[in-house]
Amino acid sequence: MDMVFGRNKEEHPEPIKAEVQGQLPTWLKGILLRNGPGMHTIGDTKYNHWFDGLARLHSFTFKNGEVYYRSKYLRSDTYNCNVEANRIVVSEFGTMAYPDPCKNIFAKAFSYLSHTIPEFTDNCLINIMKTGDDFYATSETNFIRKINPQTLETLEKVDYSKYVAVNMATSHPHYDSAGNILNMGTSIVDKGKTKYILFKIPPSVPEKEKKKSRFKHLEVVCSIPSRSLLHPSYYHSFGITENYIVFIEQPFKLDIVKMATAYIRGVNWASCLAYHKEDKTWFHFVDKKTKKEVSTKFYTDAMVLFHHINAYEEDGHIIFDIIAYTDNSLYDMFYLKNLTKDFEEKSKLTSMPTCKRFVVPLQYDKDAEVGSNLVTLPSTATAVKEKDGSIYCHPEVLCEGIELPRINYDYNGKKYNHVFATAVQWSPVPTKIVKFNVQTKEMLYWGEDHSWPSEPVFVPSPDAREEDDGIVLTCVVKSDPKEAPFLLVLDAKTFKELGRAIVDVEMPLDLHGMFIPEKDLKTETE
């Protein structure tokens, strides 16, 4: 277990040629780039939580039938400060750091209280984002780091808060057909209001402004006021359809006052996040054209979600699929003290991840009776009109036990069939990957003993006609230290193995990433 979670992983900045077994498609050219935590111990100090570890990028490059592996720590300011001090001096969400115990702690505390939200870390360990022809490592703070996807070199730091009033932003942006990036961030107690801000980053800037950052052209699409000034909802992703943004305000909330005093109280920021199971979960739909929110109040029961799968419109309804929990036990599982040798046997989630489909009637008969179901599509999901005019939505359960969902992104915001995901039963560590058909409910699996696969990434074939024409890539870490990790290539249609690229290195479990086709990579001269 320590092999996979606790130990710092070595870097491999120079490419290592992988041993290819089987037959990889000849058209597969580009880079699979992955991100996740890789260093958990610095000097005599250790992070409390697996999600706090210093970011480590790793990649598989496909070139002329050969595969090369690289890995490198993100040289964030956080990394540099910690390594230079040989101890953790920058706080992460699950680990509060006290930079200099000799300094007057009260002076420090007052400087923290003067701005409610402390200076956040730029340890961007969650995902990769594409903006135009640039790539960034991202997390959920206001900082992102530009990187070179070919060499994994760390480039400049971008602070979202210089361009839009957000203190944090998601690591799961969306991309529209014009190449714009849509993302959401939370603005905490700005001018006496706490709100969720939807913003857009253009893929390029006008020729005469080439020297300027494209972030200077960032545009606020709209803002949604938080239902509570001091308890904004935590969210990890959001949904998008052809005409709407889907935002879920869940009762998994940050306590701003607790966050402001966490430093003096000697607790981590994670302890300021609480699940209010007696509250409702509210759905917000923003019309992309008018930039206005749909006025009807739609809600469901309390739940915790991290990942939206997809959303689309059909006959006046918005249909969206998410993975939801009935509690917040998932985060607690990954405290390093819980990641012991018998973690797989011992660690049991108290809530199984459940794939839920909500069907929300945007156009409905305003004279419908109270208590009537307004959904007119064939689905077991319902939307019932309440006395006060609000609408209570109850989902259809599509399946259980899947996480880290991916789709063919060409079908994002459209009616679709297939989800590629990791299979997790009551343990949070995936042992299989799955292909799930949301229409027929058919489930195909790939798994192998002692294998922990990562989030599966779908890559369409160049002449794809159907949604699942292509391949699925996943990095497989072995829980047996004698076995080498590998990159697995599956036929997305049949879910059968085409080949694998084996690398004799210690590969970490990672979180998210993307496949970058060769055509999207800059040549050396650029």
* Binding site listing: 172, 236, 307, 512
Q: 437 in helix, strand or coil?
A: strand
Please state, as a whole number, how many other Cβ atoms lie within 10 Å of the Cβ of residue 81: 16
Confirm if 38 and 518 have CB atoms less than 8 A apart: no
Confirm if 335 and 94 have CB atoms less than 8 A apart: yes
Please state, as a whole number, how many other Cβ atoms lie within 10 Å of the Cβ of residue 348: 12
Residue 228's closest CA among 257, 267, 269, 263?
A: 257
Q: 402 in helix, strand or coil?
A: strand
| 137: phi then psi, degrees, rounded to nearest 5 | -85, 135
Bridge pairing between strands 391-394 and 418-423: unpaired
123/53 Cα distance (integer angstroms): 8
Please enumerate, by residue number, every residue annotated as part of a binding site for Fe cation.
172, 236, 307, 512
* Number of residues in the chain: 526
Residue that is written with structure tokens 């490419």 in the block: 15
Token digits of residue 381: 């999901």
408/438 Cα distance (integer angstroms): 13
355/434 Cα distance (integer angstroms): 13
Q: b/e map of 207-230 (b: 16 or more CB within 10 Å)?
A: eeeeeeebbeebebbbbbebebeb
Long-range contacts of 162-168 (CB under 8 A, 24+ apart): 162/215, 163/215, 163/216, 163/218, 164/197, 164/199, 164/218, 164/220, 165/190, 165/197, 166/142, 166/197, 166/199, 167/117, 167/120, 167/141, 167/142, 168/120, 168/140, 168/141, 168/142
Confirm if 498 and 31 have CB atoms less than 8 A apart: no
45/87 Cα distance (integer angstroms): 6
Return the half-sphere exposure (C-beta side, CA atoms, 13 A cut-off) of residue 46: 10
Token digits of residue 5: 């979670």
